[in-house]
Each structure stands twice: as structure tokens, then as C-alpha cells.
Structure 1
């Protein structure tokens, strides 16, 4: 029996084994992805947002080619109850499993529910029902994101919802919405969140910060604040939490290499770039879609979707008043039309994504050859759950709900402008 076959037997969480009893796809806890990056050192896993089926296929093929682990994810705004993508929280694991078996993908893959957003008390109550359904559907990792709320409410919401996440699952927390140069996260805010979780025996794999990036199309050049990220990660070092880099699309390779080399980041989300690349739009090194002199996207001839379908997509966007970043809302109405294109067109969409992801994994994120590291860790652990990376060092008596509210009142921070910063 090969190491891969042994890992299939022991490394798949119970929800995955139940859903896919005859599968040869190595779908694992997000914890193992984080651990593989830490073991290699100065390595970051891509978390590819699978906004369409071809993106998922291309990302998985790239990871196989790079012998790298990978995370396939979808955010609440993209794939939740009010989704703008056909790929969603409840079908993404089935798509990943099917593709892995079809294409003989033999690298470890985690399925991540990204940006599970909590904005108010009503969201908290709904989440108590909905979060278990995500794991019923094959999720192996989640980001509970209550960063839209004040610091005390962010922490308290996380404490209330963590019991609904399986202990074996990967877990990401967030401080500060991802909104560019405004509302940058601080050491004080990050420590408050991680210390409060630690006091209650909750040990996140990742923390996401507002470190200067935006979701979607990044045109400002502001990008990742590397030194700020490094400072916050160093302050959190004794809590053994890794960084999750959001808003990766729009940052140059050089800046991303700095994040890899200088911080404790082990997860980098890539979403908009992969969508644009799959469609066949011209992009730069950043993954940003380029615009012509009239401010319109540039479609590369004989790349991505057919010219006929692209004309239909742009006409639909114009009719609905969708501008640039909001082209993402073409995902849901056009998914079946994307799948209904000729095989050679679908395959060129996949290949375009594969080549972009492969380059990032190998030449930017230093993730090449992390698959054997993850498999070795699974076999050494002998379980689908490697356990927590940290232990409790904070006194729970100092982190009661009353003391959390009291502590938060003394935090000085600028949350930035109000708005919709979900993905």
C-alpha cells in the first residue's frame, strides 16, 4: 500500500468519508495544509476561490503538477444562501471530490468555507443552524468572520459559534475588514482577539488582517503592508497562529514573495484573478484584468470563453449596470453556459487557470512539493485530526463576557469607512 493510499484510509475526516465512501480523493482538514507550510518554512498555500467549475479544475491540476497541497474555497457572498456563484457551500466539496477522482489528483486538498460573515445577532442565530450544514456537505475548514462588528462583539460572536465547528476542522478568524489602506488592523486588536479565543481553548490556524489589500480589482497599488503584517505576526508568535492573506489578487509577485519570506503567512486567497483568467481576459502579473482606453476589459482572442459568449456576457453586464468589479455577478447566470461550451473551449479555460496557479505555487508562494510533507504528517499523526498547534496560556477568568466588553472599550482603532467588503 502506498503512502497516499494509507493517507486516504486515515486522513479523511468523518464527514468526507461518509459522503464519499469509495473516493480516492484526499480531502483533509485545513489544519494539515497549514502544518505542511510551516514544516516546509516560508511557504504559503493558495486558497483558490472556485467561482466556476473550470477554476476548480485548473487549480487542482496546477497543484498536482506542482506536487503541492491546495485549498479550494468559496466565500459566503459567493456561495452562501444569497450567492452570486453557482458553486456554493453545499456543492463545492462534491465538485472537488468528483474532479479529483476523474483526473487522478493525488495531493491533499482542503475545502474551506471562507468569509462566513457575521454582521449582527440575527446572523449568529442563523449560523448555529447553517454552519453544521456546511460540514454535512463536506467542508473541512471555515473562516468565521465577525470582523464587521466592534472588537468585543467580534470575539463574543466567535466564542458563541466555535462550538458548532468540528474540533478537527481548520479554523480561521479575522480582525479588521479587508478594505485597503483605511481601517488597518493593529497589534492591539489582533492580540485582543487571539488572547480571548485562547482563554477559551480556541486555537485558530489562521488570522486574517486588514493589512492594506482590497477584495476584487486592486488598482491603487497600495497593496499588502508587509511590515505591518510582520509586526502583528511577531506579536502573536507565542499563540502559534499563522496568517491568512486576503486580497491577494492585485499584488505583484515581488510583494507576495515578501509576505512569504518575512511573515508567518501560510494561506493566500486568490479569487478575482482566477475568474478573469478563466474567462480569457488580459491580466498583468498581479492577476488584475487590464482595461482598454474606453475602460473596458480586454478579451484575448482564442483564450477563455468563446467570443460569442463573451459578447453575451458583456451585453448582460451592460443591461444590469454591472461595472468592472461587479462582473463577478455574471458567475451565477452564466455557469451553465460556460459548461455548455465545446470541450476544447472548456479545456482552454482550465489550462489558462492551471498555468497561472502553477506559476504562483512554484515561483511565488514556495508551495512546491508540500504534498508529500502533508501526507507524511497525516501518517505520523495516524488521524484525520492533528490536534491544536497551541495550548491555553490565557486565564479564562480574565476573559468573561463582561471583562471582554470592558477590555474592548480601551482599544483605540480606526475601522475605516462603512461599506460592503465581503469578498
Structure 2
């Protein structure tokens, strides 16, 4: 599966939706064609993105409009590119959300109604594309369970969550290694993040430490590995339930065979 994100190529000077999206359409088409060529006839999943996640203006987060999503997919289809899912800007942001003091808070900014409007607009135009929900690490899973439009949102990105699981285990089971990772990250990235709290700096850049401490991380003891696996398994069960994913593995097995 491949995900193409050229959403930052939005033309704010465009006179209509097509002009606004032309750069994104061109880049996404070029990359998708390259992927198809390299796959040599093999099937693959394709995700595209319209509306840059987390972009703000003076009024707050900029949301994708239904006509943008529809116009984007139609233009790609005209170029013989047929995505399976589309990521949209609907109020989420990558990574954690913070309060004024740099403390992590729940992410409650996703606009469910706008998400439903976009999904309905895609259906009304006979475009068979699901929505990929980015930036939901801090979204309460009871909200996902009770309020996410199941069947419209068919993919959720929670990468930072799993990073937190790993570092949370290291913090308890490998405190010396964890301290070394924190110290290295803050020393390296504090100068480039003036005004930010240490927690924000670490959260936003600790992924860079994985390469730096690769050998040490993969040399941790068996107890650490077992704890990390157990925590990841337990959290996965909660996500599967929240997303309504129980029973869907059989569909994947059938597709693969």
C-alpha cells in the first residue's frame, strides 16, 4: 500500500477548485503512475491527500471542502489514477495536542459533520473512495467508537500512539536508555524549537532518536520485549473495537488469496 501526500501544493491564488488543486493533482498523478509502473501489474493500495493536515489561518484549522475532495478524485480518475482512500483536513493534527503549558491534552477538534459531508459528496458523485483519518493519536477511543462514521472512515493513522507505547515501556524497563534518548533529543532539537516546552520538543523529535539508538533499542532484554508486545497487543484490541474492525480479518485473508 502506498500513500501520496502532495496536499501542501495547494494554490491559494487559484480562481477555482481546479486551479487550487492543479499542483497536487499533477504531483499525485506522476507519483501514482511511477508506482504502477514499478509494481509491474501487481495489485496495490493507494491513498492520496487533499487539504494539508494541521494547516491554519487566522480563523483556525483550514478544513477540506466537499467540492475539493470530489474535484480532486475526479481529476485523478481522468488521469487513470484510482485511489482507494483519501485523507482530508477535517480538524485533526499530526502528533499530540498541547495546552498553553505544553501538557498533552485530548484531541477533540475533528469535525465529524464535515467528514460525513465529504463522504456523502463522494458517494453522490459515484466515487468509490473511503476516508483515511490522519492525526488521531490523541482522539479518545470512546469518541472514535461512538461518533466516527463507520464505513466512511475506513483507515485511521495512530503512528505517534505506538511510539508512545514503545517509549513508555523503555521509560520503566530501560530507564538509563530512556534518559539517554531524552537527553540526546533535547540537546539536538532545543535550538530549533525556541519557546516550546521540553515535552513538546521530545514528542516532536524523538522518532529521530530511533536511528541514533538503533542498536541499543534492539538489544533490550527479553522482559522489555515481552512488556512492549503485551502492551501493544492490549492497545490493539481497544483500537479494533473502537473502529468496529472485529471480524474483518477474514476479508483481508480472502483478498490476499
> Shared topology, TM-score over 0.5?
yes
The answer to whether 1:192 aligns with 2:67 is no
Q: CA deviation at 1:162?
A: 1.9
Residue of structure 2 aligned with 1:228, choices 111, 114, 119: 114
- Give the SS at the match of 1:194: helix
- Give the SS at the match of 2:178: helix
* Cα gap change, 1:161 to 1:259, in 2 (>3 Å): farther
Q: Which runs of 5+ in 2 are unaligned?
A: 11-20, 100-106, 191-200
Report what 2:2 is aligned to. Answer: 142
* Cα gap change, 1:310 to 1:367, in 2 (>3 Å): same
Q: Which runs of 5+ in 1 are unaligned?
A: 1-140, 282-298, 380-423
Measure, in 1, the Cα distance between the counterparts of 2:215 and 2:159.
20
- Give the SS at the match of 1:155: helix
* Cα gap change, 1:156 to 1:346, in 2 (>3 Å): same
The answer to whether 1:177 aligns with 2:52 is yes
Q: CA deviation at 1:376?
A: 2.9
Report what 2:188 is aligned to. Answer: 320
Q: CA deviation at 1:366?
A: 1.4
**Residue 122 of structure 2 contacts residue 129 of structure 2 at CA under 8 Å; is this kept in 1?**
yes
Q: CA deviation at 1:225?
A: 1.1
Spell out the pairing of 1:119-134 with structure 2 (5 A cutoff).
Answer: none
- Give the SS at the match of 1:145: coil
- Give the SS at the match of 1:280: helix
Measure, in 2, the Cα distance between the counterparts of 1:195 and 1:264.
18
Q: Which has the higher contact order (CA 8 A, sep 6+)?
A: 1
Report what 1:158 is aligned to. Answer: 28
Measure, in 2, the Cα distance between the counterparts of 1:219 and 1:357.
24
**Residue 279 of structure 1 contacts residue 349 of structure 1 at CA under 8 Å; is this kept in 2?**
no
Q: CA deviation at 1:190?
A: 0.9
Measure, in 2, the Cα distance between the counterparts of 1:261 and 1:165.
30
- Give the SS at the match of 1:188: helix
**Residue 248 of structure 1 contacts residue 270 of structure 1 at CA under 8 Å; is this kept in 2?**
yes
**Residue 134 of structure 2 contacts residue 156 of structure 2 at CA under 8 Å; is this kept in 1?**
yes
The answer to whether 1:279 aligns with 2:167 is yes
Measure, in 2, the Cα distance between the counterparts of 1:157 and 1:259.
34
> RMSD of the alignment, in Å?
2.1
Measure, in 2, the Cα distance between the counterparts of 1:218 and 1:318.
19
Residue of structure 2 aligned with 1:342, choices 221, 228, 235: 221
The answer to whether 1:256 aligns with 2:144 is yes
Report what 2:129 is aligned to. Answer: 241
Runs ≥4 in structure 1, deviation > 6 angstroms?
none
* Cα gap change, 1:350 to 1:335, in 2 (>3 Å): farther
Report what 2:249 is aligned to. Answer: 371
TM-score scaled by length of structure 2: 0.78
**Residue 177 of structure 1 contacts residue 210 of structure 1 at CA under 8 Å; is this kept in 2?**
yes
Report what 1:24 is aligned to. Answer: none
TM-score scaled by length of structure 1: 0.48
Measure, in 2, the Cα distance between the counterparts of 1:368 and 1:196.
35
Report what 1:50 is aligned to. Answer: none
Report what 2:212 is aligned to. Answer: 333
**Residue 223 of structure 1 contacts residue 250 of structure 1 at CA under 8 Å; is this kept in 2?**
no
**Residue 116 of structure 2 contacts residue 149 of structure 2 at CA under 8 Å; is this kept in 1?**
no
Spell out the pairing of 1:23-422 with structure 2 (5 A cutoff).
Answer: 141-150=1-10, 151-166=21-36, 168-179=43-54, 181-219=60-98, 221-237=107-123, 238-258=126-146, 260-262=148-150, 264-280=152-168, 301=172, 305-322=173-190, 323-324=201-202, 325-361=204-240, 363-379=241-257
CA deviations 1:63-83 (Å, max 9, x no partner) are xxxxxxxxxxxxxxxxxxxxx
Q: CA deviation at 1:373?
A: 2.1
